[in-house]
Amino acid sequence: MSTPLALAAVATLAAAASLRRGRGSRAADAWLDLEYMADRGGDLHEHYPQTAAGQMQLGSGEQVFWAGRGYRKIGYVGPTDGRMVPIEARYAEPIDGNIFYPEKLSALVGAVRDGDQPVVDSGYADLMLLSGQDVRESQEYDDERPWDSDDIGALYADVRDGNHRTMAALLAGSDFTWVRMSDSTRQELLRPSPARKRASDKLYAAIRRAQRAHGAPLIQRPRRKRAHPDLARATKQHDRLKTRERELYQELLREFEDLGDGFAWTLEQRLERPQLFLRQRLGRARDEGDDTLLDRYFDHPLKTQLDRVYEQKRKASDRLWELRKASGLDPRTGEPQ
């Protein structure tokens, strides 16, 4: 439970943050604002019992990522699949609304400064590159630590969870900390939308540079399979049969204009959706027991051609599905997965 002193400190921090954040500040110096919290003598056993007892467990595919100087280090447990990212001190900030509790922060920072080398779970963050607009807003709203043009393109972390753990490394003297990229950031990197492809590529490259500089496992986009050599030919064949099928339906509709759905639709409108109008009219013929009309339709040579083309298209569809799968594409749409 927070003490009145802790709540007062949080209120003070929130007030200071509101002044220094207009979506930008030099966090390398900004975290000095938290120094007064780092010497409160918090109890590590109270706030981080597993860490204090040395009982942090590594799951499958996890390792400890260290940050700090000399023997004053803190370890962050995180996955080895490329999601762990080192962030320079001045570019790590918690999202608005994240709260700091002095005793909790002090307990962890104190353990690092004492050389205990605590190990904690990694916090996670949304990652982005600072833009010119971010710099302009910083210069407009931050009188003490505005960003400048040199900061454009820097890798920035909006820490969404684990702010005490993430910032402890910085307050203990490290010039960088570790975060686990959020699911939304990972999705953007691995499967960027066409509209975001260029921006995503730049962020992807920046993250990999940072990971490589600190010896971390690199995030890796899935390699696309090479298209099957028969895919283009199969696609053309399927499209040709699909077009021919539509043409035959239109010819049948012209041949049997009396099967049309009354005068509510023009012939041109019906030709846009020939299967629908034929199916509706034939359904009514069945309901009315009009066997003459049905026999006339199903015995027509065009219907025989249509059945043959339909069967060819069905086989072509099955073949195209398998070739798309073999090429690493969505078998339903042919788009990259």
End-to-end CA distance of the chain: 47
DSSP 8-state class, residue 31: G
Instruction: Identify whether the C-beta of residue 312 lies closer than 8 Å to the C-beta of residue 241.
Output: yes
pLDDT digit string, tens, across residues 233-279 = 999 999 999 999 999 999 998 887 665 455 577 888 888 888 888 88
Which tens digits make up the pLDDT trace of 37-92? 767 777 899 999 999 999 999 999 999 999 999 999 999 999 999 999 999 998 99
- The pair of structure tokens assigned to 242 is 């699909």
Find out whether 168 and 105 touch, Cβ atoms under 8 Å: yes
Coil, strand or helix: which one is 94? strand
Among residues 263, 116, 123, 254, the alpha carbon closest in space to that of 180 is found at 123
> Which conformational region is residue 332 in: left (phi greater than 0), alpha (psi within -120 to 50 degrees), or beta?
alpha
Number of neighbours of residue 70 by Cβ within 10 angstroms: 7
For residues 220 and 202, give the distance between their C-alpha atoms in angstroms, rounded to a whole number.
14
Tokens 């200071």, located at residue = 16
For residues 124 and 160, the answer to whether their CB atoms sit within 8 Å is yes
Q: Quick one: pLDDT at residue 337?
A: 64
The mean pLDDT value for 225-238 works out to 90
What pLDDT does residue 148 have? 87
Is 202 in a helix, a strand, or coil?
A: helix
Question: What is the Cα–Cα distance from 81 to 90, expressed in whole angstroms?
Answer: 25
Average pLDDT score over the chain: 85
Cα maximum dimension of the chain: 96
pLDDT tens, 286-311? 898 989 888 989 999 999 999 999 99
User: Whole-angstrom Cα distance, residue 299 to residue 297?
Assistant: 6
HSE-CB at 141 with a 13 A cutoff on CA atoms is 17
**Between 184 and 147, the higher pLDDT residue:** 184
Tally of helices (H runs) and strands (E runs) in the chain: 14, 8
Q: Given the DSSP bridges, would you call strands 72-79 and 62-69 parallel, antiparallel or unpaired? A: antiparallel
So where are the chain's domains?
4-213, 231-326
Pairing of strands 84-88, 176-181: antiparallel
Structure tokens given for 170? 């910085």
Nearest partner of 168 among 326, 330, 21, 44, judged by Cα: 44
Given a cut of 90, whether residue 283 has pLDDT beyond it is: no
Rounded-to-5 percentages of helix, strand, coil across the chain: 55, 15, 30
Instruction: Give the span between the Cα atoms of 64 and 44, in whole angstroms.
Output: 19
CA 28 to chain CA mean position, Å: 28
pLDDT at 36: 65
| Averaged pLDDT, 130-136 | 91
3-state class (DSSP) for residue 178:
strand
127, pLDDT greater than 70: yes
User: CA neighbours within 13 Å on the CB side: how many for 202?
Assistant: 12
Residue 286: its H or E element: helix 274-288
Using the Cα atoms of residue 171, residue 172, residue 174 and residue 176 in order, give the sign of their dihedral. negative
pLDDT of residue 46: 93
Is the separation of the CB atoms in 86 and 67 below 8 Å? yes
